[in-house]
Amino acid sequence: MIENTVGNRLVRAVTIVDVKRWFKLWRAPKVEGGEPRASRAHDAVSMLRTILRFGFALGYPDCAALVERLKMVRFENAGAREQEMTAAQAMAFIRAALGRGDDRGRNMAIGVAAQFELALRQKDIIGEWGPARPKAAGAIYAGAEMWTGPFRWENIPGWRLRLKTSKNRARAEFCLDDYPMLFPLLEAVPHAERSGAIVKGEYGLPIRERSYRKWFREIARAAGIPDEVWSMDSRAGAATEADAAGADLKSISDLLTHAEPRTTLQYIRSTNKRVREVAKARARAREASDYDP
């Protein structure tokens, strides 16, 4: 998006005024009268900062100068999401996917079940396509591209999955036969097809992110899941379900591989249980102090 809109610019000539104008352009609604796309614009500015920091690491001082100037500016974000995918919605999705009776449905059922059960990011489940590099460990090559990802059949000996997460490289380990929503789907895959990426797309190759996103929405609509619920909301659903089941915050943080529990709180959508606990604690405190209304 950055390349298509403002990519052909000399870094030394870019000003804060330019970036503010770009932000306004990126934030504009997709169609006239539509909702402003604050998250899209905020993410683009974040990527711009990343590009500039990388340029500075390569020895380009103009990149460092622009990064420093941008530190003085705050750009609007849409704020944290409030949606979650519930267990009932995940099951409805799986039923709708399997009801198609084809490989696409089976692969999407596995993908969503894995995201919800393991509380992993989408990238950790479907992997990533990129330019080919020679002799990349575990890579699958297709022309000038290659796919890498930890969720592949060769990485689950004895149904045990070990990986480092894509975002913070945190170590995680799962016994897949502990997850009743996911394990039967994996077990049903014929042995002859148990190689390479577990979630496959066109032509038996690892699924691409754009296909996963498109197919998710098609099946989600067939399952009656609102468009406001995205596949990424499965992590919030897992955290919320764990909280409702009585898991402590530290355990939920470990599940999500968060270093800080306060980050985990952003993923727990329902606060009803905690509100009730606070109310009971206040009532007990009043009883102890002989409070008389």
DSSP label at 195? S
Could you state, in order of their start, the residue ranges of all structural domains in the chain? 2-70, 87-232, 238-288
Does 292 score more than 60 pLDDT?
Answer: no
Does 238 score more than 70 pLDDT?
Answer: yes
Q: Dump pLDDT digits (tens) for 65-123.
A: 999 999 888 887 766 677 899 999 999 999 999 999 999 999 999 999 999 999 999 99
Supply the pLDDT for residue 34.
Answer: 84
Supply the pLDDT for residue 171.
Answer: 92
Q: What is the domain class of 87-232 according to CATH?
A: mainly alpha
Please give the mean pLDDT across all residues of the chain.
90
Euclidean distance between CA atoms 103 and 201, whole angstroms: 8
Share of the chain above pLDDT 70, in %: 93
Euclidean distance between CA atoms 248 and 197, whole angstroms: 33
Q: Dump pLDDT digits (tens) for 21-65.
A: 999 999 999 888 888 888 889 989 999 999 999 999 999 999 999
CA angle 184, 189, 193 (to 5 degrees): 155
Average pLDDT over residues 155-181: 94
Supply the pLDDT for residue 113.
Answer: 97
Supply the pLDDT for residue 160.
Answer: 97
Average pLDDT over residues 258-267: 86
The pTM of the full predicted model, rounded to 2 decimals, is 0.73
Q: Which candidate, 64, 107, 63, 109, places its Cα nearest to that of 234?
A: 109
Q: Where are the alpha helices (DSSP H) in 133-248?
A: 183-187, 209-222, 234-244
Share of the chain above pLDDT 90, in %: 66
Supply the pLDDT for residue 17.
Answer: 95
Euclidean distance between CA atoms 235 and 147, whole angstroms: 23
Does 291 score more than 70 pLDDT?
Answer: no
Higher-pLDDT residue of 193 and 290 is: 193
Non-local CB neighbours of 112 within 8 Å, separated by 6+ positions: 90, 93, 94, 97, 216, 231, 234
